[in-house]
Structure 1
Amino acid sequence: MSDRTIRALWSVDAAQAPGTELDDEALTTWYGRSERPTLRVNFVTSVDGAVEVEGYSAGLSGPADKRVFGILRMVCDGLVVGAGTMRHEGYRAVKLDERRRSWRRERGLPEAPTLVVVSNRLAVDPTAPVFTEAPVRPVVLTSAAAPEPAGLTKVADVVRVGERDVDIVAGLAALRERGLSQLLCEGGPHLFGTLTAADQVDELCVTISPLLTGPGASRITAGPQRDGGPVGLRLHHAMAADDLLLLRYTRR
């Protein structure tokens, strides 16, 4: 079995029998668009909870995880990422291949999702290809106090929500006013923690890599504590690619 091969284990929708190999059309159905505004978070982690290997998430990923990663990007309206994660992981302009662009065109969507960068301090480089080569004009969520880098408004829309820190609830509302109802957050951990603390997470897609990394690495979430205790989720589906698990959890 190829390490790209993904097989069904279980789904609340019972769309395929356990053991069925899932092609990209089936995966798109399993991760399809919601009929209501949704914020989905996607992460990869080791079995013992690490968010990175030697400082980067790529050491935890693999071909099957990358297949799902691409499909999640294809079906979303906006791709939300923290500025620190964007810099550290070396994000490029969000572009899709022709097959995925065609899928979006057939559904009346722009050919690529809108990149949304969250930055309290506006610590972004307007000359970076992630902005200058973007097929769809990016959006930057920032605070009222952040100084604006020269040239940023030439390559992105700057939306200020919150005085000294980004008001993430207001920011998400502003995105939805722009028609970005299906949002995908790729991190990092502090942004995920902020979204959880604000009770804004509707789904978590998590890939569990069959690695024990040992102590040292951080978790997939960090930052402020959430008032009100843990958020209850239900397992929506489970898939496997060799020893790697791909799980989708949704709000109860």
Structure 2
Amino acid sequence: MQRIHNAIQLTGLNRDELAALYAYPAGLQHPWIRANFISSIDGAATSGSVSEGLGTPADKTVFMLLRQLADVIVVGAGTARAENYGGAGTDPIFRRALHDRAMGGHRDGAPPPIAVVTASASLDPGARLFTETEVPTLIITTSTAPENRKQQLADAGAHVIEAGGVAITPQGLLHALADLGLQRVLCEGGPHLFGELLEADAVDELCVTTAPILVGGAARRISLSAHEFRVPMVRRHILLDDDGTMLTRWTRS
């Protein structure tokens, strides 16, 4: 690995070396929550109202790798709608290889399910979440969500899970994932869901890509919460790409 000023040059890494840098801890006994976000240099979490507008080749490489490693991908309903989510679309051969090395993946090579957090179960049954996926989408919802909506999503092939009464707390979400044996959790947003998880001290790790661009405007930041809080973090690594993209990995101290 070529190191430049205490950072690692991304182009000097092969896929296995990159996976080793991002492997989940071994022997997990409860869900490990990893969040992954991208922002501009000036802190915008979106460009043109979607995070994809900030994407770079390096970010897309790590984005897909994190999906390869995960047991489940968690996303808020607003982000799933705005970004037009479909299934994860991972590489089954690589997923099996990662599992064999106890780094993540899946023993059968199956992709990780998308788990959508939605208190109201307000999703379109005809969306790509349900029509373009190899494994059932998980709908993490509430007992008070309209029964007809939940039934429509179940009829569309989703696995509907009630994880709260009128709201889904971070603890309720973690219990639901733990009950399914999903330990390696990748949270892809949005800012409200991430903020709630942070405020509940439920986030173990954060991966942030800084795109080499200034955006301006009124775009939101990567986390939003009702209260300010402080969570000390430790930097695990910095990756640099030739176009200026910087990818950092942080864990709780």
TM-score (norm 2): 0.87
What is the match of residue 52 of structure 1? 46
1:9, CA displacement in angstroms? Answer: 4.9
1:110, CA displacement in angstroms? Answer: 4.7
Q: Distance in 2 between matches of 1:174 and 1:95?
A: 23
Matching of residue 197 in structure 1 with residue 199 in structure 2: yes
What is the match of residue 179 of structure 2? 177
For each residue in 1:190-231, what CA deviation from the matched residue of structure 2 results, as whole angstroms up to 9, or x when unmatched?
1101111111100000000111112411101113225xx301
RMSD, matched Cα:
2.1
Q: Which moved more, 1:152-161 or 1:92-101?
A: 92-101
How is 1:1-252 mapped onto 2 (pairs within 5 angstroms)? Answer: 9=4, 18-19=8-9, 21-35=12-26, 36=28, 37-104=31-98, 106=100, 108=107, 110-148=109-147, 149=149, 150-154=151-155, 155-225=157-227, 229-242=229-242, 243-252=244-253
Counterpart residue identity of residue 231, structure 2: V
Counterpart residue identity of residue 130, structure 1: L
Does the aligned pair in 2 maintain the 1:50–1:217 contact within 8 Å? yes
1:151, CA displacement in angstroms? Answer: 2.5
Counterpart residue identity of residue 53, structure 2: G
Number of residue pairs the alignment of both structures matches = 240
Cα distance change, pair 94–193 in 1 and its aligned pair in 2 (3 A): same
Q: Which moved more, 1:144-153 or 1:197-206?
A: 144-153
Q: Distance in 2 between matches of 1:83 and 1:124?
A: 7
Q: Which moved more, 1:106-115 or 1:25-34?
A: 106-115
Q: Which moved more, 1:196-205 or 1:166-175?
A: 166-175
Q: Distance in 1 between matches of 2:85 and 2:71?
A: 18
Please, which runs of 5 or more residues in structure 1 have no aligned partner? 1-5, 12-16
For each residue in 1:31-57, what CA deviation from the matched residue of structure 2 results, as whole angstroms up to 9, or x when unmatched?
012222310000000111000112111
Q: Secondary structure at the match of 1:158?
A: strand
Does the aligned pair in 2 maintain the 1:8–1:239 contact within 8 Å? no
Does the aligned pair in 1 maintain the 2:239–2:247 contact within 8 Å? yes
Does the aligned pair in 2 maintain the 1:8–1:238 contact within 8 Å? no
Q: Distance in 2 between matches of 1:98 and 1:76?
A: 13
Counterpart residue identity of residue 25, structure 1: D
TM-score (norm 1): 0.88
Does the aligned pair in 1 maintain the 2:87–2:135 contact within 8 Å? no
What is the match of residue 3 of structure 1? none
Question: In percent, how many aligned pairs have the same letter?
Answer: 38
